[in-house]
Amino acid sequence: MAQNRVLVLDVDHQPLMPCHPARARQLLSEGKAAVWRRFPFAIVLQQPTTSHTQPLRLKVDPGSRTSGLAVVATYQRGQVCVFAAELQHRGMAIKEALYKRRGVRRSRRYRHTRYRKPRFLNRKRRKGWLAPSLESRVQNVVQWAKRLRRWMPLTDLSMESVRFDLQRLENPEIEGVQYQQGTLFGYEVREYLLEKWGRKCFYCEATEVPLQIDHIMPRSKGGTDRVSNLTLACAACNQKKGNTDAKTFLAKQPSKYAALRAASKRGLSDAAAVNSTRTALWKRLCGLGIALEVGSGGQTKYNRSVQGYAKTHWLDAVCVGVSGERVLVEAEQEVLEIKAMGRGSRQMCRMDQYGFPRTGPKARQKKVYGFQTGDMVEAVVSRGKKAGRYVGRVAVRSTGSFNIKTRSGTTQGISYKHCRILQHTDGYAYTRRKDGASSPL
C-alpha cells in the first residue's frame, strides 16, 4: 500500500518537503528526528539542515457531508499525489443539537417556571452570516488548509466551485418561465399531495378515509418539510409507522418502498448546502495569501474520467482545475479519514424526554488527572481481566476510571495510571482507509 508522505519540520518548526515513510523511520532510528505529531504523522528534525522544496499544491473538493483534500507535488517527472484525506463534517449533528435545544426552549412556555424575557431581538446577524451547520463546514475546510500550510511548504491552492441548479435536479426538462413556477405553483401543499398520491393512503391504499400528512424520513431523524419528503397515510398507518423511517417500516415490502422512492423526489439539502457555502469558502481561502485556482465540477469530472480514476472525494480533489489534468496517484494510495467531533458541549446538564434536568451540573474542569475526553492515549494493563495494550480515544470520568475506544470496540474501566497521552484532542477523530476498508487509529 502506498502510504501518505510523512510531514517534516526543521529545528525552527518550519515546514520542509514531506519525506517517504522509510526515510522517516531511518531518521527516527538514528536520533536525527523526533515525533512531532501522530495524526497526521509528522517529525521534527533535531539538527539544522538546508531546505530544498518543490511546488506543493493543496487541492480541495468541498462537499456537504465529506470534503476531499489532496496535496500534489510537482517533480521533474510530473505531478504526484503525496497526501490524501477526506474530511467528514458534522453539520447534521449540529442541526439536530439545535433542534433539541429549540424543543427544550419551547417547552418552557407550557411549564410553570420562572419568566424569561425574550432575547430574539438582542442579536444581529453580521454580513455574510451562515447557519451554524453551514458555518462548521466552511471552518473545517479552512482550518485544515491552515494546518497543512503550517506543516507543508504549500505554494498553490486549488478549489472546486460548483453551483447546483436545484430546479433542474428536480425536473431535468425545465426551461424558460417554468423556473419562476415552483413545485407548488397553483397548489396548496395539501391539495398538491392529494393529487400526487391519488387521494389514498400510500401504505394500505385505503380510500374514502381521513388522510394525514406523513414524513417519509421523520423530522426527528433529519427529515425536512419539503414536498419530496411528504406522503399521505391514514390514521392507523400513521400511528403504526410512528417515528420510524419509511425504509424500516416497509422492510418486508421492498417493492413498495422502491415505488415510494420512485414517486418521491430526492432531497436537495446537500446540494443547497454546497451552494450556500461556496462563496464564503472561496473568500476565506483567498484570505490565506496563497495563489488560488478555481475549477468547475465539469472540469473535475472530465479530468477524472480521462485518467481513469474512481469517483471518490479525495480523487475529485486530485482532479480539480487545470492542474488536475495529469496527476499520478500511486496504487492503493492511503487515505486519512478525518472526522469532525467537536470540542465538547456547553450544556450544563443532560435533559430527559420532557426537557427536565436528569443529571447534576458538569464539572467545570474538562481535564481529569491531565487527560481530556478525545485525547489519543495508549494504555498498558499488565494484569487483571483487562490485561493488554489499548490505543485509541479516551473518554474521561471524574473517578479516574476511563473508557478507551479502540479498533475492536470500547473498553471500559481503564485506570488513568495505565494511560499515557499520544496526542491531545484537537476536535477530530482519525482513521486510515486500507484496501477500501476503514480502521480506527
The confidence band for 436, taking pLDDT boundaries of 50, 70 and 90, is: very low
Does domain 363-424 fall under CATH 2.30.30? My reply is yes
* Beta carbons of 223 and 241 less than 8 angstroms apart: no
* Beta carbons of 346 and 378 less than 8 angstroms apart: no
**Residue 438: per-residue pLDDT:** 46
**Residue 260: per-residue pLDDT:** 87
Question: Closest Cα to residue 33, out of 391, 19, 432, 378?
Answer: 19
- With 50 as the cut, is the pLDDT of residue 162 above it? yes
Cα-Cα end-to-end distance for the chain: 16
**Residue 174: per-residue pLDDT:** 62
Interior CA angle at 336 toward 148 and 87, to 5°?
70
Mean pLDDT, range 169-181, rounded to an integer: 60
**Residue 42: per-residue pLDDT:** 94
**Type of residue numbered 86:** E
Mean pLDDT, range 98-119, rounded to an integer: 75
**Backbone φ/ψ region at 409: left (φ over 0), alpha (ψ -120 to 50), beta:** left
CATH architecture group of domain 56-91+127-164+270-340? 2-Layer Sandwich (3.30)
- With 60 as the cut, is the pLDDT of residue 437 above it? no
The predicted model scores a pTM of: 0.79
- With 80 as the cut, is the pLDDT of residue 254 above it? yes
Convert the pLDDT of each residue in 55-92 to its tens digit.
899 999 999 999 999 999 998 889 999 999 999 999 99
Convert the pLDDT of each residue in 368-386 to its tens digit.
999 998 899 999 999 888 8
The confidence band for 293, taking pLDDT boundaries of 50, 70 and 90, is: very high
Cell of 333: 494510495
Distances (CA, A) of 415 to 343, 363, 398, 410: 23, 19, 11, 14
Separation of alpha carbons 61 and 320, rounded Å: 7
Cell of 64: 456537504
**Residue 45: per-residue pLDDT:** 94
Convert the pLDDT of each residue in 205-242 to its tens digit.
898 899 999 999 898 888 888 778 889 999 999 999 99
**Type of residue numbered 421:** I
Cell of 69: 483534500
- In the CATH hierarchy, which fold is given to the domain comprising 182-267? DNA Binding (I), subunit A (1.10.30)
The confidence band for 351, taking pLDDT boundaries of 50, 70 and 90, is: confident
Convert the pLDDT of each residue in 12-68 to its tens digit.
999 999 999 999 999 999 999 999 999 899 999 999 888 788 889 999 999 999 999
Convert the pLDDT of each residue in 203-212 to its tens digit.
998 988 999 9
* Beta carbons of 42 and 6 less than 8 angstroms apart: yes
Who's near 215: CB < 8 A, 6+ residues apart?
Answer: 223, 225, 229, 230
- With 60 as the cut, is the pLDDT of residue 388 above it? yes
Higher per-residue pLDDT: 436 or 274:
274
**Residue 439: per-residue pLDDT:** 43
Instruction: Using DSSP, state whether 60 is helix, strand or coil.
Output: strand
Separation of alpha carbons 42 and 6, rounded Å: 6
Backbone phi and psi for residue 99, each to the nearest 5 degrees, phi listed first? -65, -40
Mean per-residue pLDDT of the chain: 86
Convert the pLDDT of each residue in 189-206 to its tens digit.
777 788 788 889 999 989
Separation of alpha carbons 233 and 238, rounded Å: 6
Separation of alpha carbons 110 and 356, rounded Å: 13
Burial 237-252 (b: 16+ CB within 10 A, else e): bbeebeeebbeebbee
DSSP code per residue over 299-343: HHHHHHHHHT--S-HHHHHHT-SGGGSSEE--TTB-EEEEEE--S
* Beta carbons of 261 and 272 less than 8 angstroms apart: no
* Beta carbons of 233 and 212 less than 8 angstroms apart: yes
Distances (CA, A) of 378 to 143, 403, 415: 27, 12, 12
**Residue 122: per-residue pLDDT:** 76
- Minimum mean pLDDT range among 45-54, 159-168, 252-261, 369-378: 159-168
Strand partners, 44: 9, 34
Higher per-residue pLDDT: 248 or 439:
248
Who's near 258: CB < 8 A, 6+ residues apart?
Answer: none
Convert the pLDDT of each residue in 356-370 to its tens digit.
778 877 766 788 999
**Residue 408: per-residue pLDDT:** 83
Cell of 85: 484525506
The confidence band for 127, taking pLDDT boundaries of 50, 70 and 90, is: confident
Who's near 250: CB < 8 A, 6+ residues apart?
Answer: 203, 256, 257, 260
- With 50 as the cut, is the pLDDT of residue 168 above it? yes
* Beta carbons of 395 and 402 less than 8 angstroms apart: yes
**Residue 340: per-residue pLDDT:** 94
Question: Closest Cα to residue 398, out of 361, 369, 418?
Answer: 369
